[in-house]
A = this chain, B = another copy of it.
Amino acid sequence: MKPFDDVRLRGFSHRTSVSDAWDWIDSHCQLLDEQLVPLSRASRRVLACDITSHVDVPAFRRAMMDGYAVRAADTRGATPSNRVTLRLIGHVFPGHPFAGDVAPGEALRIMTGAAVPATADAVLPVEQTELVGDQVCVLGDVPPTKNVGDIGEDVSRGTVVLSRNRCLRPQDLGLLSSIGIAGVPVVRQPRVRLIITGNELLPPGATGGAFQTVDANSPMLRAFVERDGGIVVDRAFLTADDPAAILAAMEDSEADFVLVSGGSSVGAEDHAPRVLATHGELAIHGIAIRPGSPAGMGRLNNRLVFLLPGNPVSCLAAYDFFAGRAIRGSAGRDRGWTYSRRQLELQHKIASQLGRVDYVRVRVTSQGVEPLSIAGASTLSSTTRADGFVIVPAESEGLPEGSSVDVFLYD
């Protein structure tokens, strides 16, 4: 019989509060350094610095519609019954300036986006004209500057167009393009090493194994990491319940973060906390949350290490409460929840314990929201049947039926 002498099997003597764990995360996770990415890959990335335009957009006075470049004064008083006639002197297309001026009494056919000559001050819409030979009959007037895009009207040189920490939207990329920025300075994506421990585990998607369990956590964690702006380091995830293998993974120099799933508790085979405490710092171990209480966190070299329970629902909750918060923060994103919220009426009470945060899977119904009755932390299907979750705060002993609660919606 294998000896259990060194086993600390007595459970956690102390559980850290969720808010203290958040404080630790917020004071230890650092914004990553910057990298340049091409515009085509900058969507949803976070700007690392303010972007100042060094150009005017437009850089020239631009026709805003198809029509005639004119002197506005020449059209004054024109109506369908009181026509003014101008002489057509040519045309100008976008990309090529007109070699000449528009003198009084003259009109220049102009297309949207073309440069308006300096001596013209308006573009007369073609709908307000009739062309007879080289005579442009004006049927209505235009005021000065009408339909002319001024220099710098969109962006003027020297303006800060986008500020650091901006999560880039599609239109932001258009704007950056228009001011001549081909490489965008963004916060580097956190690189995350995943380790899934457990001698009983089979790789994702495997079948068979009468007494084995297929790893559900690595596909789930990868998707969470990517959602939060990180990238998963390309390594095999499954690791034996072996301290040396776990240490090697925690020391992966490619990684900004290490997430260890499984073996996070205080049992004989729970090596990860001891490895971290021995070779680095196990700052927090055991958190007052359900599910997910065996979670822990600490540091090894400059890397933040998160210990996540192996039970999939606990793993999910511990990721989303703690590891995800750190990854989002270091990616320059909002550290808070990524989910949209809705206030709904609770259809059945939720019991909880004072001092413990509960993560309660719920279903949204036509009447409000109801907690799912669930067997335990290993029932991952409860999170796929759920529409979202409700958080019962530590200060609360539960939420009564009929109360209005904030529901975080899975998307």
Contact = CB atoms under 8 A, between A and B. Distances in A.
Contacts of A267: 66, 111-112, 126
A175 to B, nearest CB: 5
A380 B174 contact: yes
Nearest to A340: B340
A43 B181 contact: no
A395 interface: no
* Top-6 shortest CB links A-B: A182-B205, A95-B200, A94-B200, A174-B220, A180-B207, A170-B223
A274 interface: no
Interface of A: 1-2, 4, 9-11, 39-40, 42-44, 55, 57-60, 62, 64, 66, 90-91, 93-97, 109, 111-115, 126-127, 131, 149, 153-155, 161-162, 167-183, 198-201, 204-207, 209-224, 226-227, 265, 267-269, 310-312, 316, 340, 375-381, 383-384, 410-411
Nearest to A67: B9
A39 B205 contact: yes
A4 B109 contact: yes
A390 to B, nearest CB: 16
A171 B383 contact: yes
A340 to B, nearest CB: 5
Given A60-B211, A310-B112, A66 B9 contact: yes
16 contacts: A4-B91, A4-B131, A11-B126, A39-B204, A59-B209, A94-B198, A154-B378, A169-B410, A170-B227, A171-B380, A171-B410, A173-B219, A178-B213, A179-B214, A180-B205, A183-B205
Contacts of A205: 39, 176-177, 180-183
A219 B169 CA distance: 10
B174 A219 contact: yes
